[in-house]
Chain A
Amino acid sequence: MASQTLNSSMQPTDVYGGDEVSAIILDPGYSSVRAGFAGEDTPKSFVNSHYGVNESGTVFGDDAIHNPLAALDIRNPMSKEGIVEDWDTATRLWEYSITSRLTSFKQADPRTNGLNDDLKDMDVEMDGIEEGEKPLEEHPLLMTETAWNSPKNREKSIEIAMESWGCPAFWLARNSVMAAFGAGKATALVVDVGASTASVLAIHDGLILKKSVQKSHLAGNWLSSQLRTLFETSEPKVELVPHYMIMSKSPVDAGAPAQATYRKYEKSPTDSFRALEEERVLTEFKESVVQVWPGPGRLNSNNQMGMTNLEYAKGQPGRVFEMPDGYNQMWGVERFSVSEGMFDEKAALPIPGEQPITKAQTIPEMVKASVNAVDMDLRSQLLQNIVVTGGTTLINGFTDRLNNELVAMYPSARIKIQAAGLTAERRFGSWIGGSILGSLGTFHQMWISRKEYEEFGANVVEKRCK
């Protein structure tokens, strides 16, 4: 009887504004591509942005690219700025991330979807796509982009969605706006520190303020190069040997040379492959060892006790990290100093062959520049709605430090930082925001429909997605 009162006429849409049209959200980044259905809370498909090329073809996805036997040349279709450079491959990479997990497109199985097959076979398959069904004919597509994406690139995105994938509707959203939506805010100052770029920008009512866009390269990859410098310069030098090179290892004391037998490869893997694999070790190191000095003050500044924070940090317990070859060491204050450069340009370790970083590239300075570029009336509101997102912000102490820096910078303003507590939510912040937006009933009027695209051309995206 009770079930009768709760019948179908009661649409929950009125309550939470959701009305799902099985839209797909695609959030490509430098380190990974996130794709999934709108309305879900994490992306179903999470694919490494790096892809491998060898003489037999191109492979995508973590299952394929970490194979040391395949003599893969590892590449990334994204530029260091986080925008697409190689459109052909980017298209295939995204297509892979969508079709491998999401749509019921006939190529769902990665073994048979042609993307990982011989080029000849794949061509056949691609032809099949062209003549027959397209992967997204049933699904509107919401794609994210960086705030500094070029108009040409934006037009290219809609062309791919409409022409290659046959989407009925398309929308292009800024990933920082999506991150703010994911945090439940329409007005926010978004601090996004990902793999290739760190950016700070202001959002008002769901639109980015273009003058406030600040970006620098002090992000995950830069931190990795700091780690490399640290390994190079430490005594004794720490060898960064990726897992695939190790056949076996035996335990050694801390600081003692590694005792491992190494694998030999007939055809030694490429440098880019090795770099990719080294990066995995470094990410592990970042996750478990690296820490940001939480403040107050900088690592090199004095505290109330009359000593520098550095000395204080030296007294803190260290962390042990074991390299793939078995070498292990206690990391003490170094784990603070590698990340300090993100906040204090003078503390950055010099990277050979690169310009020293400038003050303006540090995160607090970017916040300052960004805030100064918006209208006075908005500033205090922005400082109360700071959204922190991106994988690199997961380093321990990052938000504490940011908060301390900003409190010192704006003593009379109220600073409130919002950072998702869950790792997934922090890393997928912009995808989650897209998922929310894409499932809103009120969003249906926003989509750029196929007809509109045909009528106005690719330029329509510039006019509509502001």
Chain B
Amino acid sequence: MTSHDVRDMLDLPGEAAPRPAKKQKVAAPRPVLKGLAREVQNLGGDNPIAIVPEVSVFKKKRFGSRKPAAKWENRSFKNSARDDETLVLKHWRRKDESSAAPSGEGEAVAQDGGVVEDSTFAKYNVKVITPQYDDEQYQRHLQDNNWSKDETDYLVSLARDYDLRWPIIWDRYEYQPAINLDPETAEVAIVAKAENRTLENLKARYYTVAATMMKVHKPPESMNQAEFNLLELMQNFNPNQEKSRKQFAEAAFSRTKEEAREEESLLIELKRILARSDKLAEERRELYARLEAPPSTGNIGVFTSSQGLQQLLHQLMQADKSKKRRSIMGPDGTSPAGPSGLNQQPSFDRRESSVRESTSGPSGGSNNKKGPAQPGPTERRQLAPEEMQLYGVKIPERIPSSGPSFRSEKLQKPITSKSSVQQQKMLSVLTELGIPHRLIMPTIAVGESYEALLGGIATLIDQRKVMEKIQGEINTIKEKKRREEEERAAKMSGFGGDGVGDDRDVKVEEGEREKSAAPSMSDTGGQHKRSASVLSAVSEKSTKRQKK
């Protein structure tokens, strides 16, 4: 059934001829595919895959800028780095315009005139310089029981041939002593040959020869730095050390699996320790940097009341939380301004982070403030007692009723719990003692001493107060007594010394009660003039008393 019949049946007019013609037209521009592309296309079988083959159309040449095709010539060249410079090889090169003039005879000219160009690669040829010596120099400087001149020559020539590549020199070292000696020496020589030279042996001999000849040719005083360094290097070559180094290396190389595994685990451990110590040092440095920052000049008065303190604590917690949240940003992201925008906020903020390093929760885990630097809680492990000591980790039996608190707080408590007047007094004593108000290195030991010191200062201040009071009373009483005595000049005398003592004891008790109950009203004048030594002696005394 032809298409004609179909058309007939369907009552379609016309010829079918145009269609195949059209088809051919479509098929014609289909590019002839080659290689892999054709194979891929063939995979589709009769119904070709709908991949639009990319027809690469070349840019039409612009006839305007068309130049004659570049001329190439098979040009001869030689290489001056060769021993035999007569070898002339040919390579294809663009013909330069100037020599292209005689067109086609360039090559002939080059060959006839002997102006064969040199290879551009000749310059890369470098050779090592090996020591030179003559017979007489050898006799004078280079004699060695283990080495004949012949063998030394052989060694030096190998060193030159193999450009001082020692593994190869050693590999190819096959010294055959000359046989034409008289039998006796020949025997000796054979014995000498039998002892296999080690690589170190060869190196040592070569360096000795080279160093000696260097000195012979040029005294060390007149050498330049590079030469002298080389000389030093060669003279300091120690074959035994090299040998034992290689023995070590060999032992390490031929370890068993178990040994290798053990060493690997040790190495990992070491790495961890090093990483930790790095981190520690880093944190310490950071801490110092923070402490050395200019002390905050802001007013801390706000925080002197317990209410203010509570607020500050709140602020800090807030900052801490937000810091944790921001931890991906890195530890140096700026902390959000505290709610009150206090100017000492940053310093407290920093302080908080540095204190936290030595703080740890009851879990005893490494409680670090730096999120990103920390591999995470997976690294948690039990600390050894020494480490606990080092980091100041304590595991209380039970959580104190007051809840967790900062140790820094604990440090400040003896001061901040006092009235502002007393605080002032204590701080001034500290200043007098040359002790900073905020500890530079608040380790646990330092903290404890500091606490004890503060206790001492407090006692001292109390004592002083009491003393002043008593002094005042004594004065009053003395005055009274004097007046009374004046009044009843001739009358009988009154009080005795015992009474005064009793009275004072009572007053002390009174004073202590007073101190803890209400702010004292004693003045501060003149205190600063006391010498530090006296004070420290007193504080020591008071500390002792406190211990009791």
Residues of chain A whose beta carbon lies under 8 Å from any beta carbon of chain B: 1, 7-8, 11, 13-14, 17, 19-22, 138, 140, 168-169, 204-205, 207, 209-212, 374-380, 408, 410-413, 440-442, 444-445, 447, 449-452, 455, 466
Whether A445 contacts B81 by the Cβ 8 Å rule is yes
Whether A376 contacts B165 by the Cβ 8 Å rule is no
Q: How far is the CA of A440 from the CA of B84 in the complex (A)?
A: 19
6 further A-B pairs in the complex, CB-CB below 8 A; given A13-B120, A466-B172: A204-B168, A375-B167, A444-B89, A445-B125, A447-B82, A452-B84
Give 5 pairs: A residue, B residue, CB < 8 Å, sorted on A.
A22-B91, A375-B166, A445-B82, A447-B82, A447-B87
- B5 part of interface (Cβ distance < 8 Å): no
Among B175-183, B244-252, B461-469, the stretch that binds chain A is: B244-252
- B276 part of interface (Cβ distance < 8 Å): no
Whether B120 contacts A209 by the Cβ 8 Å rule is no
Among B31-39, B44-52, B255-263, B404-412, the stretch that binds chain A is: B255-263
List of B residues within 8 angstroms of A410 by Cβ: 253
Q: How far is the CA of A377 from the CA of B90 in the complex (A)?
A: 42
A49 to chain B, nearest CB (A): 30
- B86 part of interface (Cβ distance < 8 Å): yes
Residues of chain B whose beta carbon lies under 8 Å from any beta carbon of chain A: 65, 70, 79, 81-84, 86-96, 119-122, 124-125, 161-162, 165-168, 170-172, 199, 246, 249-250, 252-253, 255-257, 259-261, 263
Whether B82 contacts A449 by the Cβ 8 Å rule is yes
Q: Which of B82, B246, B256 contacts A377 (CB 8 A)?
A: B246
Whether B84 contacts A449 by the Cβ 8 Å rule is yes
Whether A22 contacts B255 by the Cβ 8 Å rule is no
List of A residues within 8 angstroms of B122 by Cβ: 445
Q: How far is the CA of A165 from the CA of B239 in the complex (A)?
A: 51
Whether A412 contacts B171 by the Cβ 8 Å rule is no
Whether A19 contacts B84 by the Cβ 8 Å rule is no
Whether A413 contacts B253 by the Cβ 8 Å rule is yes
Q: How far is the CA of A56 from the CA of B82 in the complex (A)?
A: 48
Q: Which of B89, B94, B95, B249 contacts A21 (CB 8 A)?
A: B89
Q: How far is the CA of A44 from the CA of B199 in the complex (A)?
A: 44
Q: How far is the CA of A378 from the CA of B250 in the complex (A)?
A: 11
- Chain A's closest residue to B161 (CB) is A466
Whether A205 contacts B165 by the Cβ 8 Å rule is yes
Whether A168 contacts B89 by the Cβ 8 Å rule is yes
The answer to whether residues A451 and B89 also contact, given A209-B167, A444-B79 and a CB cut-off of 8 A, is: no
Q: How far is the CA of A374 from the CA of B81 in the complex (A)?
A: 32
Whether A17 contacts B89 by the Cβ 8 Å rule is no
A295 to chain B, nearest CB (A): 15
Q: Which of B89, B120, B121, B259 contacts A169 (CB 8 A)?
A: B89
Whether B250 contacts A376 by the Cβ 8 Å rule is yes
Q: How far is the CA of A377 from the CA of B253 in the complex (A)?
A: 10
Q: Which of B94, B167, B256 contacts A8 (CB 8 A)?
A: B94
The answer to whether residues A204 and B167 also contact, given A8-B96, A451-B87 and a CB cut-off of 8 A, is: yes
Whether A444 contacts B253 by the Cβ 8 Å rule is no
List of A residues within 8 angstroms of B96 by Cβ: 8
A26 to chain B, nearest CB (A): 18
Whether A378 contacts B90 by the Cβ 8 Å rule is no
Whether B199 contacts A451 by the Cβ 8 Å rule is no
The answer to whether residues A411 and B79 also contact, given A19-B91, A210-B172 and a CB cut-off of 8 A, is: no
The answer to whether residues A211 and B171 also contact, given A21-B91, A444-B82 and a CB cut-off of 8 A, is: yes
List of B residues within 8 angstroms of A169 by Cβ: 87, 89
Whether B120 contacts A441 by the Cβ 8 Å rule is yes
Q: How far is the CA of A328 from the CA of B100 in the complex (A)?
A: 69
Which of the listed residues B86, B90, B249 has the most CB atoms from chain A within 10 Å of its own CB?
B90
List of A residues within 8 angstroms of B250 by Cβ: 376
List of A residues within 8 angstroms of B81 by Cβ: 444-445
- Chain A's closest residue to B261 (CB) is A411
Which of the listed residues B167, B249, B255 has the most CB atoms from chain A within 10 Å of its own CB?
B167
Whether A444 contacts B199 by the Cβ 8 Å rule is no
Which of the listed residues B168, B246, B259 has the most CB atoms from chain A within 10 Å of its own CB?
B168
Whether B121 contacts A441 by the Cβ 8 Å rule is yes
Q: How far is the CA of A151 from the CA of B455 in the complex (A)?
A: 97
Q: How far is the CA of A455 from the CA of B249 in the complex (A)?
A: 48
- Chain B's closest residue to A453 (CB) is B84
List of A residues within 8 angstroms of B90 by Cβ: 21-22, 138
List of B residues within 8 angstroms of A204 by Cβ: 165, 167-168, 171
Whether A412 contacts B121 by the Cβ 8 Å rule is no
B357 to chain A, nearest CB (A): 38
Whether B246 contacts A376 by the Cβ 8 Å rule is yes
Q: How far is the CA of A120 from the CA of B311 in the complex (A)?
A: 117
Q: How far is the CA of A288 from the CA of B535 in the complex (A)?
A: 98
Whether A207 contacts B120 by the Cβ 8 Å rule is no
List of A residues within 8 angstroms of B168 by Cβ: 204-205, 207, 209
List of A residues within 8 angstroms of B92 by Cβ: 20
